[in-house]
Structure formats: structure tokens, C-alpha cells
Structure 1
Amino acid sequence: MNLFSSSTLSALEKGLYGASLQQRAISQNIANVDTPNYKAKKVNFQKVFDEALSNTRLQAKQTHEKHIAFNRSQGSSPVETIRQTAYNHNGNNVDVDLEMTELAKNQIYYNALIERVNGNFNSLQTVIRGGR
């Protein structure tokens, strides 16, 4: 039995991965706020979530290399570029107020996930110590 491979810990890990992708995208957007023709990036959490779920589903044994794989990864990046809008005269579409709001939301989400991970490890530590 592997103590660190629980489904809860795995889901938290995937959530942290998505939050870190979001953090990178927001940071790039803020850093390029004055870059001409820069288009804002956004993480599609639904795509990250779907990939996380597909990795935890039943795995089929492939008996021949020409058989179609049971669980195929989409292989596409969850980071998307927003091209439809242009807020500035230089073709840039980064809205700093929106990005700062998204940054704060993402930080709260990330901190909540970290607290849950710490809670899981604290519970494990309590069990190891014999309930003390």
C-alpha cells in the first residue's frame, strides 16, 4: 500500500498543477501589459480537469501495438490565447485590473489546496504517532 497515492492527494496534486499553470499565464499577461500586439493567455481549467480525470480512469491492457489505445491523451495545451479582443491602441488585449483579480482568486484557490494537502499529511502524522 502506497500512503501517498490516495485519490484525494492525486486530485489535490492536479489542482495544484492547474493553479500553477494559471499563475504562469497571469504572470506572463501582467509582464507583457505594454507589449504591442501581445494577446492575453488563459488556462482552460475544464481541459486540465478532464485530463486529470482521464488519467485516473480504468487502464486497458493493449495486447497488440496496432490496437487503438483505450485511454488516449488529447495532447493539447490547456493554455489558450485570447485573440478576439484588443483593449489598447497597440493591439494588446491585457486588462490589468482583470489580471490582478484573477491573480488574487488563483492565490486563494492555491492556498486552499495547500491547506488540504497539509491537512492530509497532518492526519497521516497523527496516525503514525498513535493518535497523539
Structure 2
Amino acid sequence: MAISLDKAFGIHQHALLVRSERAEVLSSNIANADTPGYKAKDIDFASALANAKNSQSYRMSKTHSKHFDLSVEIDTSQKYRNPNQPDTGDGNTVDVQVERNMFMQNSMEYQTSLQFLNGKIKGLNKALTGGS
């Protein structure tokens, strides 16, 4: 009997990828907090994860050299965020406190998914080795 890692790990493997991409976007916002005209960006995590979840059920493996390789593409398109504060005159829409909070929340959620996956891997390892 084959073990399907996609079924074992569920959506968490895709969540890690999206969270990693979002961390890069948020850190870019923080780095450009003083850049005139820079617009804060973000990734809509819920829609990216829903896209991965919906397309995951249509995943097909390539079993022959003439088959098409169909894989899941996760949409991590960046969108501009609506500013929470009025324009300071330089056109920059980054609020450093908001960005830091979002970065920290994203980091904690990344760690949570990572711990969940580690638990799944330990469980699979225990099942395969038959004990402790």
C-alpha cells in the first residue's frame, strides 16, 4: 500500500509556501518604509490557500513520458494594500507598526504549520518503523 504524502500533509505544505512568500513581501514593505512613492503590498493568504486547496483535488501524477505533467500552481499574486493613514506627502503607504505586526503574526502561523507537519512526519516515521 502506497502512502500519499499529499493526503498525509493536507494543505499545510502549501500553507508553508504561501506564508514564506508573504514573509518576503512584508519584509520588503518594512525595508522600503522610507522610500518615497513605495506602495505597501500583501498576499491574500485566504484566497491563495483556497486556490491551492481547490486545485489540489485535480492533481495528477506523470506516469508515462508522453503524459502531461499537471501540478498545482499556488496563486501568490501581490496586491496593493489600502493605507490606514493619510498620505504624508511622499506617496509612501507603509505603516511600519502594521507591517511588523503582520510579519510577526505570519511568522507565528508559519511556525504553527511547521510544527504540525513535524508532528505528522514523526507519526509517519513511527508507523513505518513500528515503534519508538
Both structures adopt the same fold (TM-score exceeding 0.5): yes
Aligned-partner Cα distance in 1 for 2:73–2:113: 26
* Match of residue 128 from structure 2: 128
In 1, distance between residues paired with 2:74 and 2:127?
Answer: 40
The answer as to whether partners of 1:45 and 1:78 remain within 8 angstroms in 2 is no
What SS does the corresponding residue of 2:11 show, helix, strand or coil?
Answer: helix
TM-score (norm 1): 0.77
Alignment size in residue pairs: 120
Structure 1 runs not aligned, ≥5 long: 60-72
Identity over aligned residues, as a percent?
25
Q: CA deviation at 1:5?
A: 2.2
Match of 1:102 in 2: 102
> Aligned partners of 1:119 and 1:17: how far apart in 2?
18
d(CA) in 1 for partners of 2:22, 2:101: 12
Is 2:67 aligned against 1:82? no
Check conservation: 1:25, 1:42, Cα contact below 8 A.
yes
C-alpha spacing 1:2/1:18, structure 2 compared with 1 (3 Å): farther
TM-score (norm 2): 0.77
Structure 1: distance between partners of 2:73 and 2:124: 35
| Paired residues of 1:87 and 1:95 also in contact (CA < 8 A) | no
